Structure 1
Amino acid sequence: MKIVIISDTHMPKMAKKLPDSLVEGLKGADLIIHAGDWQTLDVYDELSQYTTVEGVSGNVDGTDIKEKFGEKIILELNGKRIGVVHGHGKKGTTEKRAIDAFKDEHMDMIIFGHSHIPVKKEMDGVLLLNPGSPTDKRRQPRFSYGLMYITDTIHVEHVFYDNKG
């Protein structure tokens, strides 16, 4: 199962179209997970042309996106429990807020966004992933998204690129 993980697309403000590198990665995907800050439902419509899209709303998303997605979801994929949340809020770090969102649940993995900083690490047996942003790298050296493959284990990697064209 090939899953593309993105967050913080901020379209059309930060890009008028999906970056070519991301489009290449979407080919053959079984699922796309978006961790919030879509900005418009047009992003969902475009991503849906590739495969099924799951996601959550972020702090810049309007009522339409909040109503469609909500603030957090738990996906069961190949027997693995994957929590998805944007990670915005007031107390603690983005990472800590993402972990706290699922503190009463058993998760194999937590996906979050908001900071635009790519993260991949394990903490207390839970894989944490922030895919970064495919369109708004901020102070990061490169644009990025995540690729996940699930069999009996979860394998995750970042895909980095320099040009969002």
Structure 2
Amino acid sequence: MKIVILSDTHVKKHNDKIFKFLDNISKDTDMIIHAGDYVSSSVVSKLREHKNFVGVWGNNDKGYIRDLLKEKMIISVEGYNIGLYHGHGNNKNTLESAYNQFSGDKVDIIVFGHSHQPLILTKNKILMINPGSPSYKRREPWYSYVILEIQDRKINVQLKFFN
């Protein structure tokens, strides 16, 4: 299974650029995961066109987006439990906020965003994935997203950077 992982699109206007990006990456993808901060409901609508879109809302998502999506969820993919949470909270550290959200849950992978800083690491045997942002890089040098492939209980994670 090939999964594209996104977060922090923060689209307010000029949706055509992100829509073209989403169309391109979804062509050979089995699932799209978005870890929140879409900002525009049109991005959620575009992602919902993909047959296997899963997402949570972020702290900058309001109204319709929060009504449509959950704040936190756990999905099962190819025998792995994947926790999704944006990463916002009272902790100063986004990684800790995301990790702590699943302290009472059995998860193998946690997907989060919020910091706009791409990251792949393990914490206490849990794979932590932050894809950064494909459209709002802040102080990062590149836009980014993640490809997660799971096949025969093997995991391949690739961080993709672009200008």
TM-score range, shorter chain: over 0.9
CA shift, 1:64, in A, is 1.3
Structure 1: gaps spanning 5 or more residues: none
Give me the whole-angstrom Cα distance separating, in 1, the residues matched to 2:14 and 2:61: 14
RMSD: 1.6
Aligned to 2:99: 99
CA shift, 1:14, in A, is 7.7
Aligned to 1:133: 133
Residues 1-165 of structure 1 mapped to structure 2, 5 A cutoff: 1-13=1-13, 16-18=16-18, 20=20, 22-151=22-151, 152-162=153-163
CA shift, 1:13, in A, is 4.7
Shifted more, 18-27 versus 90-99: the winner is 18-27
CA shift, 1:75, in A, is 0.6
In 2, are the aligned partners of 1:29 and 1:50 still within 8 Å (CA)?
no
Shifted more, 43-52 versus 84-93: the winner is 43-52
In 1, are the aligned partners of 2:119 and 2:130 still within 8 Å (CA)?
yes
Corresponding residue pairs, total:
162
Equivalent residue letter for 1:26: S
Give me the whole-angstrom Cα distance separating, in 1, the residues matched to 2:92 and 2:11: 27
The TM-score, its normalising length taken from structure 2, stands at 0.92
Equivalent residue letter for 1:156: V
CA shift, 1:48, in A, is 2.6
In 2, are the aligned partners of 1:14 and 1:135 still within 8 Å (CA)?
no
Deviations 1:69-125 (A, max 9, x none): 111010100110000000111223000000000001111100000000000011111
Equivalent residue letter for 2:45: D
Equivalent residue letter for 1:131: P
Instruction: Give the 3-state SS of the residue equivalent to 1:148 in structure 2.
Output: strand
Give me the whole-angstrom Cα distance separating, in 1, the residues matched to 2:26 and 2:66: 24
The change in CA–CA distance for 1:115 and 1:13 in structure 2 (over 3 A counts) is farther
Deviations 1:127-154 (A, max 9, x none): 0000000000111010001111112122
The runs of at least 4 aligned residues of structure 1 exceeding 6 Å deviation read: none
Instruction: Give the 3-state SS of the residue equivalent to 2:121 in structure 1.
Output: strand
Equivalent residue letter for 1:85: Y
Give me the whole-angstrom Cα distance separating, in 2, the residues matched to 1:9 and 1:118: 13
In 2, are the aligned partners of 1:131 and 1:145 still within 8 Å (CA)?
yes
Shifted more, 8-17 versus 41-50: the winner is 8-17
